[in-house]
Amino acid sequence: MYVCLATLPASAWQTPGPAVEEAPAATDLMEEDPFDAADLGEPMDDEGDASGADEPDEGEEQPEGDRAKGRVRRPLSRVRPLPIDMKLNRNLRIPPAPPFHMGREIAQTMHYTGAPWLVRESRQREEDCRMMLEALGVEPGQTVCDMGAGNGFYTLELARMVGPEGLVYAVDIQPEMLRMLSRRAAQEGLENIRLVLGSPIDPRLPVGEIDLVLCVDVYHEFSHPEAMLARIRESLSDDGKLVLVEFRGEDPAVPIKPLHKMTKAQVRSELEPAGFRVASEFDRLPWQHLLFFSAAPE
């Protein structure tokens, strides 16, 4: 199923290029549909109003797992959604997106109607998300960024990991993703998250402050990778790391479409000229590469 990104509010884009005109829903990323497409959920309104579409009933049961972990999930009608910084610089001209970057075809952005796939029950079993999070080595008090946060599958966990003294910037180019995330964060009582609407060439992060920028299944979707990498590099603190998690392109057993996978060689060949060097690699995830990059000295 292909969904046209023309459904996005025009305000989110200045000059949409080929990479954003048509976008795959999540079911198009996998070789076999992992869930019934009827489960996609309702779209959000365009006004930044975080009440509505997927609001649970007042008396909604809290999942067993959450109760066991001591997490309190509040009914949405009783919480105030976190604010979203939507102040894009409308004067910044976004060049047309090239179809290829360094010989790699750029994948289309996953449309927000595919968001339920990001929080599917099988994700832990398939991707071992817990192991990935542990491998990050995130510490309380840190400032981290979930770049291309989607509906916040990882943002909420990162917010718990950095704790009340830390901060998570959650950046995405689709306001609808951020609205879903805003509601989910508020429902779980997490306040240490700043939601930022980015543009395809600028994630609007503070300079020199981010200890870790995490991109899970995102880098291969950047329509303007060079601009994004330059801004991310500027945002890193002295020991800051950029972490890429990408489905393994070398491994035919990973049931994801080739356009949404990357080989290690591809990742390195694109990141090194952009001023990054590999700091470490973690090779134990079932489907993905986990690569840590530092900013190389100028």
CB of 58 to ligand SAM, least distance (A): 28
Using alpha carbons, select from 221, 230, 214 the residue that is nearest to residue 261. 221
Say how far apart CA 228 and CA 242 lie, in whole Å.
Answer: 12
Which CB atom, from 218 or from 236, has the smaller least distance to ligand SAM?
218
CB of 83 to ligand SAM, least distance (A): 18
Residue with tokens 């134990």: 284
Which CB atom, from 67 or from 130, has the smaller least distance to ligand SAM?
130
Q: Are strands 2-4 and 276-282 parallel, antiparallel or unpaired?
A: unpaired
The secondary structure element, H or E, covering residue 270 is: helix 264-271
User: What would the two tokens of residue 253 be?
Assistant: 């057993």
Which CB atom, from 75 or from 230, has the smaller least distance to ligand SAM?
230
CB of 116 to ligand SAM, least distance (A): 11
CB of 34 to ligand SAM, least distance (A): 13
Which CB atom, from 75 or from 85, has the smaller least distance to ligand SAM?
85
Which CB atom, from 244 or from 295, has the smaller least distance to ligand SAM?
244
DSSP string for 22-90:
EEE-GGGTBSS--S-GGG--PPPPSSS--SSTTPPPTTPPPPHHHHHTTPPPPPGGGSPPPPEE----T
Which chain residues interact with ligand SAM by CB under 6 A? 109-110, 118, 147-150, 153-154, 171-174, 177, 198, 200, 203, 216-218, 221-222, 228
Q: Are 184 and 149 in contact (CB under 8 A)?
A: no
CB of 118 to ligand SAM, least distance (A): 4
